[in-house]
């Protein structure tokens, strides 16, 4: 039987209850805002509004934070008209496949994103799937929507913007294409981020970005480039 827990020692090593939350409360004075699960509206300097839905929850039977049982599911209460969905994990079927594994994204999240069709959905969690894809939605109101039934999977209609295998070009690219990709990679490394523009057609397309920062040391990738996305918003009224 283990002995009694020394509460003061636990606080010294791991911190006190609510301590991390207080750090974020103090950070608000410096413009750093912690987004708990929910909907947020930001008044931008140009007078327009930016709406974001955020959620840290992922499906798992493990013991990490912000997890729920895949059997029970989770309600992602995304509202119509939201500009950006920001979640810890991916939706099922979109950049959610770890090395040598089946897809691990959340079906409930996918259905909510399909229902609301935001301009941008960014997430992480699956480090191997860093990249971006512009998805075109099919006109389908199937309540059992999946990536196989409601996404136009023609590469010309739902193109991959980039991913780890395409970053910097490959031997299968034409010389001029590979040169352009190498130049883009060099520019991104120099600027400290990979930039793109969100050309998603409202209600018809969504730009998905896996923005995982942590790389795979086994593949000589300690860190991935962060993303900088230019997104069009409605003009202020």
Report the candidate in 181, 202, 193 with the shortest Cα–Cα distance to residue 229: 193
* 160 beta partners: 133
**Reported confidence tier of residue 19, pLDDT bands at 50, 70, 90:** confident
The Cα 208–Cα 206 span in angstroms is 6
* 106 beta partners: 91
Sheet of 84-87: strand order equals 38-43, 49-55, 84-87, 120-123, 205-210, 131-136, 160-163
Cα angle 92, 95, 97; round to 5: 80
Which pLDDT belongs to residue 199? Answer: 84
pLDDT at position 1 over 60: no
Which pLDDT belongs to residue 24? Answer: 85
Which pLDDT belongs to residue 3? Answer: 66
The Cα 228–Cα 113 span in angstroms is 21
Alpha carbon 161 to chain centroid, angstroms: 15
* 80 beta partners: none
Alpha carbon 13 to chain centroid, angstroms: 31
> pLDDT: is 64 or 125 the higher one?
125
pLDDT at position 219 over 60: no
What pTM does this model have? Answer: 0.86
Three-class DSSP category at 206: strand
Report the candidate in 184, 237, 210, 231 with the shortest Cα–Cα distance to residue 89: 210
Convert the pLDDT of each residue in 138-196 to its tens digit: 987 766 789 999 999 999 999 999 998 888 777 788 888 888 888 988 999 899 999 99
Q: Say what percent of the chain tops pLDDT 70.
A: 94
């Amino acid at each position: 039987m283990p002995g009694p827990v020394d509460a003061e020692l636990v606080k010294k090593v791991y911190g006190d209850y609510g301590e991390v939350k207080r750090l974020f409360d103090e950070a608000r004075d410096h413009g750093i805002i912690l987004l708990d699960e929910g909907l947020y509206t930001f008044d931008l300097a140009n007078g327009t509004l930016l709406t974001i839905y955020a959620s840290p929850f992922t499906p798992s039977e493990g013991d990490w934070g912000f997890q729920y049982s895949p059997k029970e599911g989770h309600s992602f209460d995304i509202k119509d008209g939201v500009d950006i969905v920001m979640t810890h994990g991916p939706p099922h079927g979109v950049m959610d496949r770890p090395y040598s594994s089946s897809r691990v994204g959340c079906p409930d999240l996918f259905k909510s994103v399909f229902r609301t069709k935001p301009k941008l959905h960014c997430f992480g969690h699956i480090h191997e799937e860093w990249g971006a894809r512009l998805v075109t939605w099919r006109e389908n109101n199937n309540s059992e929507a999946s990536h196989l039934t409601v996404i136009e999977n023609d590469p010309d209609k739902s193109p991959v913007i980039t991913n780890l295998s395409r970053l910097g070009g490959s031997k299968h690219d034409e010389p001029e294409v590979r040169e352009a990709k190498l130049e883009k990679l060099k520019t991104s490394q120099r600027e400290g981020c990979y930039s793109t523009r969100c050309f998603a057609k409202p209600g018809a397309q969504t730009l998905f970005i896996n923005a995982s920062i942590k790389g795979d040391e086994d593949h000589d990738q300690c860190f991935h480039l962060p993303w900088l996305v230019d997104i069009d918003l409605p003009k202020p009224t």
